[in-house]
Chain A
Amino acid sequence: MSNENKLRAHAEEKYAAELYELKQQDRRPKPPNWHLSPWAIATYILGGTLDNGFEVSPKYIGNGRLIEIAIATLTTDRALMLMGIPGTGKTWVSEHLAAAISGDSKLLIQGTAGTAEEALRYGWNYASLIAKGPSDEALVPSPIMVAMKRGQIARVEELTRMPADVQDALITILSEKVLPIPELNDEVQAVKGFNVVATANDRDRGVNDLSSALRRRFNTVVLPLPATIEEEISIVKQRVQEIGQAMELPAEPPALEEIRRVVTIFRELRGGLTQDGKTKLKSPSSTLSTAEVISVMNSGLALAAHFGDGNLNATDLAASLTGAIIKDPVHDAVIWRDYLETVAKQREMWVDLYRACRQLV
């Protein structure tokens, strides 16, 4: 299948030209089995111009020092943990790191409550196992085992969603760099260049928290939310339009002002501070990520399209806004009312939104 027909191409396919140019220009020392030097990887992710004038597009816009910490971590034999609330680009960064370091971002394990230990270690082809007994042919290696054999980067998404006992299967792999296979009285020893990039949602802390033994194998880099309101508004605008088109909603795309209001509410509650920096606020228990702003805008749009006049107004937004903010019916409700009374009410242009929301709490 050619790349054009795929819904989404892997990073190493989509940016093959950039990776190729970087490799050609790379004169710096490379760690064993790395496709590029750490300097070239930083350029690949943060963007820049090569000596021959080739432009490398930025993959991550934000604090470049964080990316440097991530790359430097992988040059040591410590694993990398990317933390952050949803929508901060953890998966995106881990994919590009794997693509740039190993030329392969496909060695991926998705962590869920149902992830079993086999997904991290190895499984069996049961037909073959029953027919021939335990053997190399019957063994189904996990992406991690493959990465160990090849000396590549394995990715574990949403590590904290996995049950704690499954997570702990990583301890031996990360500390001893060995994966024992007792059934075959054998083991896989990691080739140089092997490492693990994991991502975790830091609002999930406490659910399946990493054991301290496992945590000790990781260096943690926290990816922050968009730094400025303008950055966040443009992300929301772009995504809402995309999703609106995909769902074929007949409603008008929301006015920039409407997005700005919702983004402002989210940023203020999330940051515990009003935009003018004058009033401190309590933060509710909900995550209030950029992703949630997008979902609030979308359900508002759907409401306006199917039950309203096709134009997004405050009433359409109020229900999903309230739902997104109040996750804990007691504490969050007080915080939200507090916000409405002390902040929203004072803003002249927000009268409609204040009224619409006050009716619901």
Chain B
Amino acid sequence: MDTQHLSPITYHPTPITHHPSPKIYGIRHHGPGSSRALLASLEEWGPDIILIEGPADGTDLLPWLAKPEMEPPVAMLVYRPDQPRRSGYFPYAVFSPEYQAARFALEQEVPVRLFDLPQGVMLASDHGPAMPDKQTFELLAQATGYTSYEAWWNGFVEQRQDGRDLFDSILLLMQEMRLAAEQHNTTDIDQSPEKEKEQAVRLRLAEQREAHMRQEIRRAQKEGYQRIAVVCGAWHGPALIDLQNEAADVALLTDMPQVEVDIAWVPWTYGRLATFSGYGAGIRSPGWYHHLWEMGRQNHSRSETAALWLSTITQLLRQEGFDASSAHVIEALRLAQSLAALRDITLPGLPELNEATQAVICGGEAEPMRLIQKRLIVGERMGLVPPDAPLVPLQRDLYAQMRALKLRPEPEESLLKLDLRHEQHLQRSQLLHRLKLLKIPWGKTIKARGSEGTFNEVWQLKWRPDFAVRIVEANLWGNTVIDAAGAFAADQAQQAIHLPTLTSLLDEVILADLPPAIEIILHKIQEASALNRDILHMMGAIPPLARIMRYGDIRQTDQALVAQVVETLLIRVCVGLPSSCRQLDDKAAEEMLSAVINVHGVVSYARSTDLFDSWYATLAEICQASGVHGLVAGRMCRMLMEGGRLNDEETISQFEQALSPTYAQKFDLQTIRQAAAWLDGFLRGANLLLIHDHQLWDILDRWVMRLSSDRFEAVVPLLRRTFYSLSEATRRQLAERVYHGQPSGPEETLHQEVDPTAADAILPVLSELLGISDSNKWEETA
């Protein structure tokens, strides 16, 4: 940066007081280059107090950072104990200048303070403070030929080797930027009154922040500190130079509403750092910054830094089964350097390294790049917080709920029976389900013996000491159990690809009663079903969804969404089912059968007749097709009959068609098995069919009679299985019919004019045949 064009500024105010001016270190939050330059400069200068940008009420918690069990990334969490959702996070990574400055102070035993406006004040306001306008920064980047401010700052500050005079230049630059932004802001008047009012609140807060920072500097001066180091976001630097107008700052800071806050340390992750950080903007590449920091600490040159980055990549790719050799590293480095030269950048940055990685190491493919993005550029590092650190809000929330629901954490195993019709029991169940989702398996559900019914749940409870740590970790996702479980489930859903994972997640989320997560999962299910190629997975997803539709206690909008998802799934199943029913072995056929039965049960509840028709059309198509396993075809035939899509005559002809191939002269075990499987599919669980439908009985009877003994032997095991699926009473009736022979005449006679005396005469026989003397059985047949 050429500083000669900038107007010279005087940031040494005319000394009315004898206080020495503070030294201002304008940094970028989470900038590894800022950190390195800052540390070097602090070591050289030797401050006697360090003021760091951060909520003033958090100062007391800074000493935790020096504990050996504390491992960044961690975040300082400031929250309102009355409303844990109102909170502020202040994450620190190992490469964050604030973290390094605090560690430096603690190790050198120099006093250290956070000197920004207390979070108690911030959280009392409905709006956050105004942030500097990004546009000004982008203009700067464009003026210097960079694609973005991010790239500019990376090139000029973060990757700079020589940190001397860096902070003075940054101060000068920011002075100009603030001037430019002020001019820009005055032209912006196109706002609604509410927006304007909100903006006024935000601007005032922003002013109060800087006033507070100045006041804290003055306090340190008055306390007699001589070498005051001020570590703050570069933007604030120029505002902290002129300390003369104390009265104005005091006026600005009086009568600020303030609420009580609690503060805790929570473990953080690089993933969270990339998407969200307390300062309004996340950083995009924490993993890369971590690498830059580590390399800088080990005094590697910048080209070594790039080479080592590339070899980390090849190591990762080798682990994941891609080809990647050290020759790749060399070639990629050369390409990255040529690219940087072509773009007039002194050394390759992350964009050049990424492009070189893709072109050289990944053979142009994008897939490994996504892996690299996730695992290395963002990184998966998770921080650690000592177990004796102050309580996090999630712990408070959980303990409060435990008290309210009378659940005590006991290390011994115990059983808990819940009747979900009781409000408190229901809440207990939901809490346990939510904890289970959060990977805190305090309780696990066990199958209750003797207590059938959906309203009963039996839990086996056992509290383990490591849950305390898991709760702290889970606080990452939210400050209350319900929020954390919801956010975590939503995240799981985002990462899930396979339908079964999503459906089981959906089940869990419904049990845990987390409506916002339900919506996300439903959207994901819709996406996944489009990409899914396994029809059984798709069919498996339908019943739980249909359950929600019928019984689920969910919002109206979700209700519509569920219906839509079920419909699309059904359409896709209809399209794909015929080809999936071919070439099934016995085991696959059984799976298919139960899937078809489940879906069929759902279709009857479908609202659209269109769907109804296309489902039956699909069934009919499969019934007619060749190569379909008998089990499936048989059951589908029955479904068509029961649905009124096949009349008696058609059913009979289907029946005949299925059994007739076995009459052929040539003995073919496969054909007989197929016919038996068809019968199995058709008759399994169909208690009354054979008793009432004499024609079917006839055909079956005829078929069995015509089978030669060796053929009969081949099908007996299969038929046994089929008939075993019928209820005992039905079996007895059928056996009686075989024994007594069947009632005379076709079924139609029953519908004709009845002679009462003649009818009475056959009643005793009939009641014996149907077993209606036994009242229980009568109910069943009725």
Contact = CB atoms under 8 A, between A and B. Distances in A.
A221 B572 contact: no
A336 to B, nearest CB: 10
Contacts of A75: 338, 341-342
Contacts of B338: 38, 72-73, 75-76
A221 B328 contact: no
A212 B572 contact: no
Nearest to A217: B331
Contact of B363 (A38, A39, A220, A341): A220
A330 B578 CA distance: 11
B342 A68 contact: yes
Nearest to B332: A219
Contacts of A83: 364
A279 interface: yes
B359 A221 contact: yes
Interface in A325-340: 330, 334, 337-338
A38 B341 CA distance: 10
A180 to B, nearest CB: 23
Contact of B342 (A42, A212, A216, A279): A42
A275 to B, nearest CB: 15
B327 interface: yes
Contacts of B358: 220
A282 B530 contact: yes
B526 A279 contact: yes
A65 B325 CA distance: 25
A249 interface: no
A69 B336 CA distance: 9
Interface in B480-535: 526-528, 530-531, 533
B736 interface: no
A122 to B, nearest CB: 28
B579 A334 contact: yes
Contacts of A342: 530, 568, 571-572
B359 A280 contact: no
A279 B529 CA distance: 10
Chain B: number of interface residues, binned into ranges: 35 or more
A338 B327 CA distance: 46
A143 B715 CA distance: 74
A360 to B, nearest CB: 15
Contacts of A73: 335, 338, 359
Interface string B322-336: 010101100100110
Interface string B352-383: 00011011101111100000000000000000
Nearest to A283: B531
A280 B530 contact: yes
Given A69-B339, A71-B342, A72-B338, A272 B531 contact: yes
A72 B348 CA distance: 12
B342 A72 contact: yes
B531 A334 contact: no
A215 interface: yes
A338 B360 contact: no
B444 interface: no
Given A42-B342, A341-B571, A220 B359 contact: yes
A332 to B, nearest CB: 12
A265 interface: no
Contact of B527 (A42, A72, A280, A341): A280
B364 A220 contact: yes
B575 interface: yes
A269 B507 CA distance: 32
Contacts of A116: none
Contacts of A338: 571-572, 575-576
Nearest to A280: B530
B364 A222 contact: yes
Nearest to A333: B579
B219 interface: no
Contacts of A65: 351, 355
Contact of A279 (B335, B530, B575): B530
B343 interface: yes
A81 interface: yes
A334 B366 CA distance: 27
Interface in A255-302: 272, 279-282
A239 interface: no
Nearest to A341: B571
Interface string B268-296: 00000000000000000000000000000
Given A83-B364, A220-B364, A272-B531, A76 B331 contact: yes
A78 interface: yes
Contact of A215 (B351, B363, B527): B363
Contacts of B334: 76, 78
Contacts of A215: 363
A341 B514 CA distance: 33
A22 to B, nearest CB: 15
Contacts of B323: 212
A341 B575 contact: yes
Contacts of B531: 272, 280, 282
A281 B355 contact: no
B360 A78 contact: yes
A42 B344 CA distance: 13
A61 to B, nearest CB: 19
A325 to B, nearest CB: 15
Nearest to A31: B338
A70 to B, nearest CB: 9
A72 B364 contact: no
B364 A78 contact: no
Interface string A55-70: 0000000000100110
A72 B362 CA distance: 17
Contacts of B528: 280
Nearest to B339: A72
Contacts of B571: 338, 341-342
B342 A219 contact: no
A334 B338 CA distance: 48
Contacts of B533: 282
A281 B530 contact: yes
B342 A38 contact: yes
Contact of A68 (B343, B360, B527, B576): B343
Interface string B557-600: 00000000000100110011001000000000000000000000
Nearest to B578: A334
A39 B339 CA distance: 11
Contacts of A202: 364
Contacts of A69: 335, 339, 355-356, 359
A220 B356 CA distance: 9
Contacts of B363: 215, 220
A4 B568 CA distance: 59
A114 B462 CA distance: 72
Nearest to A42: B342
A78 B571 CA distance: 51
A304 B561 CA distance: 42
A341 B364 CA distance: 35
Contacts of A282: 530-531, 533
A6 to B, nearest CB: 34
A74 to B, nearest CB: 9
A334 B355 contact: no
B575 A219 contact: no
B575 A337 contact: yes
Contacts of B365: 220, 222
Interface in A200-234: 202, 212, 215-216, 219-222
Nearest to A71: B342
A345 to B, nearest CB: 9
5 contacts: A69-B339, A72-B335, A212-B323, A219-B360, A280-B527
Given A219-B360, A220-B358, 10 more contacts: A72-B339, A76-B338, A78-B331, A202-B364, A216-B328, A219-B331, A221-B359, A282-B533, A334-B579, A341-B571
Interface of A: 38-39, 42, 65, 68-69, 71-73, 75-76, 78, 81, 83, 202, 212, 215-216, 219-222, 272, 279-282, 330, 334, 337-338, 341-342
Closest 8 CB pairs of A and B: A220-B364, A72-B338, A280-B530, A222-B364, A72-B339, A219-B359, A280-B527, A76-B334
